[in-house]
Amino acid sequence: MNSESKIKELTELLNQYAYEYYTLDQPSVEDSEYDRLYKELVTLEEENPQLVRSDSPTQRAGDVILSGFEKFQHPYNLYSLGDVFSREELAAWEERVRKELPEPEYICELKIDGLSLSLYYENGVLVTAATRGDGSIGENITENVKRIKDVPLRLTEPVDIVVRGEAYLPRKSFDKLNIERELEGAAPFANPRNAAAGTLRQLDTKVVAKRGLATFLYQEASPATHDTQEEVLEYFEQLGLVVNKERVLARTMDEIWTFIERVTELRDHLPYDIDGVVIKVNNLAQQEELGFTVKAPRWAIAYKFPAEVAETEVLSVEWTV
Ligand code: NAD
């Protein structure tokens, strides 16, 4: 097959998968398969820039906006993240940062596998909550977010602030939900991430209240109030927002990798799903210096875990012992 037909085929396939994933909340393939095909498309497009199609998923960051909720124009663009899948790729990113910043300090955080949202507080009061959407226009889901128990309706200080984070469904709530759905004859959700997305798009707020969503906030979207990401996270905690405690500061690639190895072991024991580790330059002025590409910040990267070993393989290993 020539590059043009291959690009067309991959574009159509990825758009179909993205529709199933973002709009229907019913993916038909594993994320790792989607990521693999996406990477293949990126490589082909890099080799043949004249063949990039306008409907290519690489030309669009983020998901589709549904009708049913009011659209919401974010005053600050909510960026996605670039991703890497191996130590080598991560080291190459780290080298690039080091070229610009001789002595970088990083903060490594868990990559929560949920749904990105932003919360708008005025005078300390939650006034709006919106999904990321395509990064510029999201959906206004304020009424639903007010039903998430750990989201403070009022902060401890009367500040104007926009915070970004992830809404997720804890594994226990996910299992309970799918048992209920099977009893009702409804199709089970494929994973907690899709269940969280489906829940936040519920038009009946009572359903949202029942399902037990939770949040981790990880970024200030409004202009910086502090010097480092670590200080921002501490400030969030002080304001009453939930912040993930599994994070470390690192100065070298070895230190970053040690954290990734620890998290890899921890992963199955966490009460929520993660799909990787996010590494960010800790100093916010330095983040600004590094800036953004079209789609993602240069000062942060997501390291994604390799695909999980299929259950059948694990079983066969156990049987041969
Ligand atoms: P992403 O999941 O690759 O990463 C970016 C997101 O990470 C951010 O938007 C934010 O929401 C989140 N995040 C979590 N913790 C964070 C932290 N501590 N700091 C910063 N950000 C954090 O990007 P995406 O565009 O949201 O989703 C694309 C992914 O969706 C693909 O890589 C693929 O795995 C999946 N997908 C799967 C299918 C399928 O059919 N299976 C289809 C489409 C997309």
What does the pLDDT look like over 158-205, one tens digit per residue?
999 999 999 999 999 999 999 999 999 999 999 999 999 999 988 888
What percent of the chain clears pLDDT 70, i.e. is strictly above it?
93
Q: Report which of residues 310 and 70 the model is more confident about.
A: 70
Name all residues whose Cβ lies below 6 A of ligand 1: 17-18, 20-21, 27, 29, 31, 34-35, 62, 80-81, 83, 109, 111-112, 116, 166, 218, 278, 302
What percent of the chain clears pLDDT 90, i.e. is strictly above it?
73
Nearest CA to ligand 1 atom 32: 35
Q: Active-site residue among 8, 71, 111, 210?
A: 111
Overall pTM > 0.90: no
How far apart are the C-alpha atoms of 91 and 252, rounded to whole Å? 10
Question: Hey, which of 55-59, 99-103, 135-139, 252-256 has the most confident mean pLDDT?
Answer: 252-256
> Quick one: which atom of ligand 1 is closest to the CA of 61?
25
52 Cα–ligand 1 center, Å: 22
262 Cα–ligand 1 center, Å: 21
Quote the pLDDT of residue 316: 38
Lowest mean per-residue pLDDT among 23-37, 241-255, 301-315: 301-315
DSSP string, 61-113: -S-PPPTTS-EEE-SS------EE-SHHHHHHHHHHHHHH-SS--EEEEEEE-
Q: What is the mean pLDDT of residues 220-229?
A: 92
Contact by Cβ (8 Å): 297, 81: yes
Residue 149 annotated as catalytic: no
Banded model confidence at residue 66, pLDDT cuts 50, 70, 90: low
Mutate which of 15, 80, 245, 308 for ligand 1? The one with the most ligand atoms within 8 Å of its CB, which is 80
Nearest to 216, CA basis, from 134, 148, 288: 148
Q: Report which of residues 25 and 232 the model is more confident about.
A: 232
SS3 content of the chain, % helix, strand, coil (to 5): 45, 20, 35
- With 90 as the cut, is the pLDDT of residue 309 above it? no
Nearest to 93, CA basis, from 296, 234, 247: 296
Banded model confidence at residue 141, pLDDT cuts 50, 70, 90: very high
80 Cα–ligand 1 center, Å: 7
- With 80 as the cut, is the pLDDT of residue 136 above it? yes
How far apart are the C-alpha atoms of 37 and 33, rounded to whole Å? 6
47 Cα–ligand 1 center, Å: 25
What ipTM goes with this model? 0.86
Banded model confidence at residue 45, pLDDT cuts 50, 70, 90: very high
Nearest CA to ligand 1 atom 13: 111
Quote the pLDDT of residue 314: 41
Mutate which of 22, 31, 217 for ligand 1? The one with the most ligand atoms within 8 Å of its CB, which is 31
